[in-house]
Structure 1
Amino acid sequence: MPVDQTHDPFEDRLSAALHQAGGTFDTDRAALAAAGQVRGHRLRLRRRAAIAGGAAGLALVGVGGALLVPSGAGGSARHGSVAATGSGAPSAVAATPAVPAVSADEMVRTLTELLPEGEVTRGEARGTDSPLPPLAQVVFDDGEGAGAVSLLVDRVRGEGGAFDPASAVTPCPEMELPDSGLDSCVTQTLPDGSVVTLMQGYEYPDRRADTKTWSADLVTPDGTRVSVSEWNAAAQKGEPVSRPEPPLGMEQLKTLAAADEWRRVADAIPEETRRPTSSAGGSTGDATSHEGRRILAILTQALPDGAKVVSSDNDETEFAYAVVDDGKGRSYVQVNLQHDMSDVAAELYGSGAETLPDGTRVATRQGPGEKGGEGVVMWTVDTMRAHGMRVVISAFNSGSQTTAATRPEPALTMAQLRKIALSPQWELLGA
């Protein structure tokens, strides 16, 4: 019996819907192809010696006045013992903060009080009212030279209240890898059940500069994460070495991360901005959208003055977009972020690419849009850090890639796109 060839309107509607979805899927094709090529390989190579989700990559900016710390501010009485910190048993995260919000000023003040005696100069800071985790960065001088210190607090949680800190703490990379940039790395379990990874190494894995970076990444049984990093220079990059080693020893760094004060900060982080994990340590669906939210937050905060966000979305991992209007028409801006892409750097960045002093590669493109919008142009700045994190930002002279141009050029210049792509804020998303 012949197959019935009767026309089905539903199939037409389904086909049209699929074509439309394909035409409006806003991701970087080259990035997606490269990601697929190294998918299996990069899962085995977690070789970046950095704080996952921490602030190790941030350069200190906005340095203000100096604060003198009273003698004994960093003593054991203030810190308390490492064994006494945190909760002794796992507990579920409350649906609402149990304590009042913590301001950026409070973050800096708390860090200052927990440091040993010395001079503290304030750098960047954020409170719990930010879509990004609370942060305090300072330049600390104990009389033997200035060193940058950065501390970030975050909240992770397990499903059903079950949570293993070891599943969330940054693991030690393979020390034998030539590009690990590490002198030492150890993961310890503390008496209260917290797990901490302590790393000592260099800012540049190839050690082309003498800038050292030491870090402590601590996760408690109740899901508080405290990531501390320090350098033997007044900034992570761009400043000369000012002392042989960072100002805090590894025991001091561990004690600072384990201080009870950071538990209150973690409790004040709003539920919707906390970083979720599964009980086995893998990312959940919420974690996927969580990274997208942070990509969107970094993008929108970095937009130039006058660029009003009309709409935005972050419904997939490694990608977010915003439609902005500076009064001259709508402009679509998208960001793709990928981790551990060093393996394909040579394929992505040809002879025309620029290499910055810190090893970051930069490629730029200006040309027609790729998805058929009449008169649409696409301006792109494609960057890759030395440790393999790739940030690609593109802007269009239309409110979408598939509709006609609404203005002669995108709302952001190439210089502005470059500034956003190279922002140290992307390092918050770790590796």
Structure 2
Amino acid sequence: MNLDQLNPDQRLHGALHDASQRFGPHSGDLVARAAARGRRLRLVRRAQLGAAAFVAAGVCVTGGVAFSGRPASVPAPAAPPTATAAPAPTQTQTQAPTRAPSASPPLGGPRSGPISAQLAAFLPPGKITRTNSNGTFVDGRITKPDTPNTGAGGGFTYDDGKGASVIQVDLGDHTRTEGSGCPPTSPGHCAETLPDGTKVWVDAGAIIGGGKRLTVIALRPDGRQVQVEEFNVASIVPSAGNATPAPTRPDLPLTVDQLRGIALSPHWNP
């Protein structure tokens, strides 16, 4: 029958029937073959997933993190070397500086000859001029001059390179009556009693004309008195017309300790 002579429904049915006839009869093992193919595909897929998981796990472990998500066991970094602190310097407590005690009194030179020469033996090097001596001092014995009211002593003009000055010593055997302490009218005139009973007076003052004077007197328990003085002038003897000598240097040449050393020296002992 010619398909063109059929109605549309009949033509569709006939076309479907012809198409199914071209594929031949239905195979009985179609389902079995489909199932086997599915199993093969699943095995291949499983193997591919396993390989991918193995590679991912290796990468994760190499990166320092386990595949499980927990931190991998990584060796702890070595601690940096600790610098040994230098020991702190030991602080020693020091006392505040105090005034150094005076040195032992000097011995001086020979206990004979002009008193001015015996006084000069105590001084630092310098130029000595205008020497004068009254009386004698020999081996501890004082001899006064015949001039009334004149004691034994000596002096000179001394220049240490910084200007002329006058230095003199007076010796005597008598008792001094001044008490210890500082009289209100003379703050620099003080008495100090040493362990052996010797009294020491120190008096600093000015002289007419603007000069300076420093006096140290030592009175020993046996009555021996030694008085040492210095002036920052070239002479303590008034010149013609009673003119007072002017200062020749700003300061005195000897310190208080040096003057005390001369007055307390055993050189002048009886």
Give the alignment's TM-score, normalised by structure 2.
Answer: 0.46
TM-score (norm 1): 0.30
- Of structures 1 and 2, the one scoring higher in RCO (CA 8 A, sep 6+) is 1
Q: Rg: which structure is higher?
A: 2
